[in-house]
Amino acid sequence: MKKNKFKYSDDNKRYHTLNYFYKHKFNSKVFKVSLNAGFSCPNIDGTVGYGGCIYCSKSGSGEFAGNIEDSILHQFSSVKTMMLNKWPEAKYIGYFQARTNTYAPVEQLKKVYEPILRQDGVVGLNIGTRADAISDECLDYLEDLNERCFLTVELGLQTIHEETTKLINRCHSLQCFEDMVKKLRDRNINVVVHIINGLPLEDKDKMIETVKYLNKLDIQGIKIHMLSILKDTPLENYYKENKFHILTKEEYIDIVINQLEELRPEIVIHRITGDPKLEDLIEPKWLVKKFCVLNDIDKEMVKRDVYQGDKIHG
């Protein structure tokens, strides 16, 4: 067994968890409050494409975001009220999750971002968006936000492979993504990248190649998802017609561990599995047992005696 404990862990975790990061940055329990501000997306409305990414649900990947019928402040207060009972001293981060949350004029963005920032206990914002949906004016505003709070911009990438990108109707290039990462980092804004394992046309090697590419960029975090085939999505129809291979839980765990070994230890792992709603999920059914997946990743890393970054540092 290796003698040195993983640098970014206070417990048995062998990768850099978001919980560890928040605990050491804020010295407090921190909650992300998922919000739905009702934004659209440039590959839904025809700006770059129609229909959205083929896996995207009607909620725009915001299944656990707030109710779009409620105001932003009502959405935030509902979650905060529940959390206060258990952690009265907790801090909060407003997470604009559903669809593309910079895809609007800056004045409209201010109307939803600023009220959240003014709430007691809020220390920052996480903004989920696309690399092709951040204007220069928006970059200026994000830079201003970054000076006033702990700001993180989450960019969906999903894969570096062009054939897959076309299949999933992503509608922006890898170069566009890379350019936006640089623009954000030039302004000292933290970047978290979303990727998806199990996409059609991709094998284990291709999924690991995506992570190797990201490890060379100046990113601060990553979210690793397993592909969810959800009802009433174009992916549902594609799956019925093509019956491509769905990763087993064991295959997914193996791939994730290999990906973690390829990532610099300082990169924060914001997510390592998804948690779709059971009533919407077609495949894979094992994905609904989120904590079983997390526990099995931990157990397998112990069994293999591996840590995040192992394949970088020898």
> Which CATH number belongs to the domain containing residue 186 in this structure?
3.80.30.30
2 inside domain = no
Radius of gyration of the chain (CA): 19
309 inside domain = no
1 inside domain = no
The model carries a pTM of 0.94
Residue 285 has pLDDT above 50, yes or no: yes
Q: What is the pLDDT of residue 234?
A: 94
| Residues 14-51 pLDDT 10s | 999 999 999 999 999 999 999 999 999 988 888 888 88
- Judged by DSSP in three states, 32 sits in strand
115 inside domain = yes
Write the DSSP string, 180-218: HHHHHHHTT-EEEEEEEES-TT--HHHHHHHHHHHHTS-
**Share of residues in the chain with pLDDT > 70 (%):** 95
12 inside domain = no
Higher pLDDT, 86 or 219: 219
Q: What is the pLDDT of residue 193?
A: 98
Cis amide prior to 284 (ω within 30 degrees): yes
DSSP character at residue 104: S
In whole numbers, what is the pLDDT of the chain averaged over residues?
92
Domain, as residue range, for 268:
18-304
Buried b (16+ CB within 10 A) or exposed e, 22-32: beeeeeebbbb
Least confident of 127-131, 161-165, 275-279: 275-279
8 inside domain = no
Q: Is 34 left (phi over 0), alpha (psi -120 to 50) or beta?
A: beta
240 and 61 Cβ atoms separated by less than 8 Å? no
Q: How many helices (H) and strands (E) does the chain have?
A: 10, 9
Average pLDDT score over residue span 185-210 = 98
Count up the domains in the chain and report the number: 1
Residue 299 has pLDDT above 60, yes or no: yes
